[in-house]
Amino acid sequence: MTETTFAQLSTLSAYSAIGVLTLAMIAYAFYLARLAPARDERREQEAARRATPERELVGVGGGADQDHEADRAGAAGPTSEMPVESAGARKAAGIGWTLTLLGTVLVVAAVALRAAEVHRWPLGNMYEFALVGSMFTLLAYVGWSFRRDLRWLGVFVVVPVLVVLGTAETVWYTEASQLMPSLQSVWLAIHVTVATVAVAIFTIGAALGGLYLVQDRIEARGGTRSFMARLPSARALERLSYMTHVVAFPLWTFTVIVGAIWARQAWGAYWNWDPKEVWSFVIWVVYAAYLHARATTGWKRQNATWIALAGFVCVVLNFAVVNVYFVGQHSYSGL
């Protein structure tokens, strides 16, 4: 196959992914809409059940296994708080999940074909970052879904991915080309790949953090019948958000370290305060502040989460603004 064919197939694959993911988004939205917001009734039952566990358990006598199961269902995880599913809702979620898997495969194919086209690691310009970033976000969501029920999160992951993919194809699209000399390095593959994985996970973390803040507001107002009542509790959302940040932060730390190693190879100094380096540093410090805030006694979780969201704003600025408008050594957006 010629390179042009690869290019056409890659673009075709990306556009198909956009189509498929749009359908996935609709299915997931339908799923949430069809869920009965019955969490509160469920919660009350649960509270009643949890109020009298000792007696029951002691009565069980021999079987520790049994009460293990019972208690597991009652553990304060998001699963236990999931609302009742109608058959329609379950079907919609199934469709959403299948389409998300298909969309993920298509994005992976688009990336692979792009790599075949350019004969190198496909992370050399903004278009490619966006494509690969979408891929990692989807992979992170799919991978995590195998470990816990995240169907309620589907729409909140698919929408940002669609925004990024759509912008990538329409605004950032760049013809395949070779890399400028400073980008021709093995460190590129490591540095940019890990950075993109970190950003993908930060994206999911920011989605969860945003949901947490909304949910928290609603819970504080005692609102129950809202759309948000179909999602896990504020506490569970906050914890999930923290978990994603805890994965992404060391990855970002690693990104910055490897970036410094590479900067020395390419530009002679491991740290030059180039705008991109400044922003990577700012992002790192803001997320460090988030982890700190979360661990500081007397600091509210809400405020900590705001810091995490500020960190994500920096991530977005670093990608969408610093790449394009700031003069620096990292000016290789390809635009």
Partner 1 sequence: MSAPGDTRAPEATDGGGRSGGPPVQPSLGVLGWARFVWRQLTSMRTALFLLLLLAVAAIPGSTFPQRSIDAARTAQWISDHPTAGPILDDLGFFEVYASPWFAAIYLLLFVSLIGCVVPRTRVHWRQVRSVPPRAPRRLERLPAHREVVVDGTPEEVRERLRGALRRRRYRVHAHDDTSLSGEKGYLKETGNLVFHVALVGVLVGVAWGHLLGWRGDVIVPVGSTFANTLSRYDTFSPGPWVDPNDLDPYTLRLDRMDVAFETEDTGPGQFGQPRDFRASTTFTDGDGTERSEEIAVNHPLETGDGTVFLLGNGYAPRVTVRDAEGTVIYSDATAFLPEDNFYTSVGAVKVPGAVPEPLGFAGFFLPTGVIDDERGPHSVFPDTLDPQLALTAFEGELFPGGRPQSVYTLDTEAMEPLPGDEADQLRILLRPGETFELPGDRGSITFDGVERFAGLSIRTDPGKTLTLVAALTSLTGLVASLVVRRRRLFVRVGPADEAGRTVVAVGGLAKDDDEGMDDELAAVLTTDEGPR
Binding residues for ligand HEM, rule: CB under 6 A, are 288, 291-292, 295
61 — alpha (psi -120 to 50), left (phi > 0) or beta?
Answer: left
207, 169 in Cβ contact below 8 A? no
- The 217-256 contact track toward partner 1, x by CB under 8 A, reads ----------------------x------x--xx--xx--
Q: Mark the segment that binds partner 1 (CB under 8 A) among 17-25, 42-50, 54-62, 97-105.
A: 54-62
Among 7, 57, 95, 214, binds partner 1 (CB under 8 A): 57
Q: How far is CA 103 from the centre of its chain?
A: 16
Give the nearer residue to ligand HEM in terms of CB position, either 111 or 199.
Answer: 199
77 part of the interface to partner 1, by CB under 8 A: yes
With CB under 5 to 8 Å by kind, the binding choice for 54 among ligand HEM, partner 1, none is partner 1
Q: Which of 243, 246, 241 is nearest to 288 (CA)?
A: 246
Which of ligand HEM, partner 1, none has residue 79 at its interface (CB below 5 to 8 Å by kind)? none
**Least distance from ligand HEM to the Cβ atom of residue 246, Å:** 8
79 lines the binding site for partner 1 (CB under 8 A): no
Of positions 42, 261, 306, 320, contacts partner 1 by CB under 8 A:
261
Phi-psi region of 119 (alpha: psi -120 to 50; beta: other; left: phi over 0): left
HSE value, Cβ hemisphere, 13 Å, CA-based, for 282? 17
Among 83-91, 138-146, 225-233, 284-292, the segment contacting partner 1 (CB under 8 A): 284-292
Q: Which is nearer to partner 1, 231 or 304 (CB)?
A: 304
DSSP string, 130-157: HHHHHHHHHHHHHHHHTTS--GGGHHHH
CB 21 within 8 A of CB 113: no
170 binds partner 1 (CB under 8 A): no
Nearer to partner 1, 1 or 60 (CB): 60
Residue among 270, 302, 306, 320 that touches partner 1 (CB under 8 A):
270
What is the gyration radius of the CA atoms in the chain, in angstroms? Answer: 23
One-letter amino acid at 52 equals T
Q: Is 178 in the site for partner 1 (CB under 8 A)?
A: yes
Q: What 3-state DSSP class applies to 50?
A: helix
